[in-house]
């Protein structure tokens, strides 16, 4: 496998951060909210070992959904990719799965008919808080924004009376577009990261 200048930069940056952290007694910690990994990501413990911090997944993302942890997330997480769906959800193009050189992110076929059935593509699961959702309020104020944002309407999410959404866990890939679009503050729907180590 050839190592590009970008890969070397990522590795050097991570090594420097690790040495600096040890020198000042930096204590590793996990971010307050567990963020999503990109689609195709392997189990978390394996992911942080495989990821070489090359930033290629973020560079190729056309939606700007992939960000990178800083040192505040802890040395083990530093410079690894994540998605904060409230800021920018994943559009499921799967381009990030095509460029990972280390196997931290596995290839996923971008065909939407295949993605929805591919467990490798699953990033998380959308969970609705009915107490916050406008469509479940009394009196109900029909909304349906999350349903219209879902890339798999009628499959990953369906709606009923007053556009009340129902998430179907077997089809939801956790892209976060519903969370990004939710007009309630704080959001009535959130994506919980998928844990491959216990699933």
Q: Which of 141, 134, 112, 129 is nearest to 189 (CA)?
A: 129
Give the pLDDT band of residue 140 (cuts 50, 70, 90).
Answer: confident
H-assigned helices in 26-69: 44-50, 56-60
Domain ranges of the chain: 1-121, 123-199
Q: Within the chain, what is the greatest distance between any pair of CA atoms? A: 61
Domain at 123-199: CATH architecture: 2-Layer Sandwich (3.30)
Tens digits of residue pLDDT in 27-40: 344 444 578 999 99
Q: Which of 25, 54, 24, 26 is nearest to 38 (CA)?
A: 54
Tens digits of residue pLDDT in 86-96: 999 999 999 99
- The 10 Å CB-count burial string (b at 16+, else e) for 53-79 is bbbbbbeebeeebbebbeeebbbebbb
Percent of the chain past pLDDT 70, that is, above it, reads 82
For the stretch 49-53, contacts whose Cβ atoms lie closer than 8 Å and that sit 24 or more positions apart, written own/partner, are 50/102, 50/103, 50/104, 51/80, 51/81, 51/102, 51/104, 52/7, 52/10, 52/11, 52/101, 52/102, 52/104, 53/10, 53/11, 53/13, 53/14, 53/78, 53/79, 53/80
Give the pLDDT band of residue 195 (cuts 50, 70, 90).
Answer: confident
How, if at all, do strands 189-193 and 66-68 pair?
Answer: unpaired
The predicted pLDDT at position 160 comes to 95
Give the pLDDT band of residue 141 (cuts 50, 70, 90).
Answer: confident
Percent of the chain past pLDDT 90, that is, above it, reads 76
Task: Tell whether omega for the bond before 139 is within 30 degrees of 0, i.e. cis.
Answer: yes
The predicted pLDDT at position 35 comes to 86
Tens digits of residue pLDDT in 109-122: 999 999 999 999 99
The stretch 52-67 carries a mean pLDDT of: 98
The predicted pLDDT at position 11 comes to 53
Asked if pLDDT for residue 101 goes beyond 90, the answer is: yes
What rounded mean pLDDT belongs to the chain?
Answer: 87
Classify residue 169 by its DSSP letter.
Answer: T
Give the pLDDT band of residue 123 (cuts 50, 70, 90).
Answer: very high
Q: How far is the C-alpha of 120 from the C-alpha of 167, rounded, in Å? A: 19
């Amino acid at each position: 496998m050839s190592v590009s200048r970008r890969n070397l930069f990522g590795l050097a940056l991570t090594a420097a951060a690790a040495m600096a952290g040890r020198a000042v007694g930096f204590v590793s910690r996990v971010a307050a909210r567990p963020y999503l990994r990109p689609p195709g990501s392997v189990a978390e413990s394996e992911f942080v070992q495989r990821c070489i911090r090359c930033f290629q997944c973020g560079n190729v993302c056309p939606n700007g959904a992939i960000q990178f942890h800083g040192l505040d997330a802890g040395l083990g997480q530093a410079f690894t990719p994540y998605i904060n769906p409230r800021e920018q959800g994943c559009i499921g193009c799967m381009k990030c799965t095509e460029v990972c050189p280390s196997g931290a992110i596995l290839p996923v076929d971008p065909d939407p008919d295949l993605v929805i059935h591919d467990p490798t593509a699953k990033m998380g699961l959308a969970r609705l808080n009915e107490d916050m959702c406008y469509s479940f309020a009394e009196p109900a104020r029909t909304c349906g924004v999350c349903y219209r944002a879902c890339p798999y309407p009628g499959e990953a999410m369906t709606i009923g009376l007053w556009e009340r959404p129902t998430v179907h866990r077997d089809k939801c890939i956790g892209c976060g577009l519903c969370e990004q679009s939710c007009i309630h503050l704080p959001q009535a729907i959130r994506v919980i990261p998928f844990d491959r180590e216990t699933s």
